[in-house]
Structure 1
Amino acid sequence: MGILKSFFGNTRKPEGLLGRWMVAGMNRAHAEVADWGMQYLPQTGIAEIAELGCGGGRNVRALLQRYPTAKVTALDYSEISVEKTRRVNQREIQKGRCRIVQGDVSKLPFEDARFDLVTAFETVYFWPGPTESFREVYRILKPGGTFLIVNESDGMKAGDDKWLSAIDGLRIFNQAQLSGFLKEAGFCDITVYHDQKKHWLCLLAMREDS
């Protein structure tokens, strides 16, 4: 049980050998729900993307493929995740289409109104606040920009409580809570997609076009 707890404890900030196993597993385990959420993104008009909590880098690659003329800046709190994402996306980094940085979502190292799209896959469970972190997302979005949140847990699934004790710092929010945090952060137009059978949750929040 100690080893399992240590392994799942790496979900928040992967470190060491267990962390390397964790980020490798993230790319496989989260692919289906990530692709489900991406289908709700706009097809065009996206030039600058921030992928926050980039994990193993698989979703960075998917975004680069979905928007072949866009640039993606990815950020993660974990040095191991940053290293893994760089390896997965090395070709696009060399082309100048992708940049990977280590940082904290509560104090993003980006200028105001830079990005057309900000994405967060399976990560807001750990964000400080999260209203304060969502305000940071609002700040770096251009007017009219979109913030995508995709979660595999909707806060209504029986048995989710076991993860709360296994993973330090984990908080599972339902759609009403997340919508409330987004509104408090300044977002206006919020659309929710909910797969009730799988308990998947996707929110699209827009920064008001000034």
Structure 2
Amino acid sequence: MLNTIGKQFAHPNGICGRLATKVMNLMNHKMYDMVLMHLQTTEARTILDVGFGNAQVLKKALRLHSGTYYGVEISETMIKKARQDKALQGMELVYGKVEELPFQDEMFAYQYSINTIYFWESLDQGFQELYRCGKPDSICVIAFYSASWLKRKRRLFPMFHCYEKETILQSMESNGFTKESLLTMGKDKGYCLIARRK
């Protein structure tokens, strides 16, 4: 049962996937707020959401910050649902994974991913692609739960790969990003790592 739930968090599919993303919305709302507050401080006009799920963050971002938004997602269920949403009409919402982003070089001024990093096939390949698709001096934001918090919840999240924040930062820096800040959610519960493309 728990393994099934974990698979839905990693790759939402069908009715169960839609329910899983609603649970994620409730769990992740503080992380959403951190990313959205930071986005509002920038002048970014081309923005990519990596792993947009049921597109709750995209819809909030549209109301808070003007720009041209794009989304990439591995779940066909989530893409179909988002494309039917009137608030997202005309937005480019496509299938793809972070290791092979279906976008041109130097396309985005701001890229973010919230609670997807546990499911990436490769940190380095993911950050190489985010670097490739980012404009020079662009921002990349990665929000994630701490390894210690996830390990304490291991029965609930058996599919999650637990990364220490230092491991994520090291991978970002070795692939061309420079840390700007690290926002903390709770006492070692979660983080929002903000980095700039060199």
Identify which of 74, 91, 97 aligns with 2:87: 91
**Residue identity matched to 2:93:** I
Unpaired runs of 5+ residues, structure 1, are: none
Q: How does 1:1-210 map to 2 (within 5 A)?
A: 2=1, 4-41=2-39, 43-68=41-66, 70-88=67-85, 90-93=86-89, 96=90, 98-151=91-144, 153-157=145-149, 159-164=152-157, 166-167=158-159, 170-197=160-187, 199-208=189-198
**Higher helix content, 1 or 2:** 2
Q: For the structure 1 residues 24 and 52, does the alpha-carbon distance in structure 2 shift closer, same or farther, using more than 3 Å as the test?
A: same
For the 8 Å contact 1:23–1:84, the answer to whether it is kept is: no
> Any idea what SS the aligned residue of 1:161 has?
coil
**Residue identity matched to 2:147:** G
Query: CA RMSD, aligned part only?
Result: 1.9
Q: For the structure 1 residues 109 and 120, does the alpha-carbon distance in structure 2 shift closer, same or farther, using more than 3 Å as the test?
A: same
Task: Give the Cα–Cα distance (whole angstroms) in 1 for the partners of residues 113 and 101 of structure 2.
Answer: 14
> Any idea what SS the aligned residue of 1:41 has?
helix
Task: Give the Cα–Cα distance (whole angstroms) in 1 for the partners of residues 22 and 79 of structure 2.
Answer: 12
Unpaired runs of 5+ residues, structure 2, are: none
**Residue identity matched to 1:91:** A
For the 8 Å contact 2:134–2:197, the answer to whether it is kept is: yes
**Residue identity matched to 1:53:** G
Report deviation, 1:124.
Answer: 0.9
State the 4+ residue runs in structure 1 displaced beyond 6 angstroms.
none
Instruction: Give the alignment's TM-score, normalised by structure 1.
Output: 0.85
Q: Deviations over 1:125-176 (max 9, x none)?
A: 111211111110000000010001111x111226133345x32xx2121211
Report deviation, 1:66.
Answer: 2.0
Report deviation, 1:195.
Answer: 2.9
Task: Give the Cα–Cα distance (whole angstroms) in 1 for the partners of residues 32 and 58 of structure 2.
Answer: 11
Task: Give the Cα–Cα distance (whole angstroms) in 2 for the partners of residues 174 and 42 of structure 1.
Answer: 28
Q: Deviations over 1:61-114 (max 9, x none)?
A: 12212212x0110010010111232234x2342xx4x22111111111100000
- The number of residues matched between the two structures is 197
Q: Deviations over 1:23-46 (max 9, x none)?
A: 233333322321123323352411
For the 8 Å contact 1:54–1:85, the answer to whether it is kept is: no
Report deviation, 1:56.
Answer: 1.0
For the 8 Å contact 1:116–1:141, the answer to whether it is kept is: yes
Task: Give the Cα–Cα distance (whole angstroms) in 2 for the partners of residues 44 and 186 of structure 1.
Answer: 20
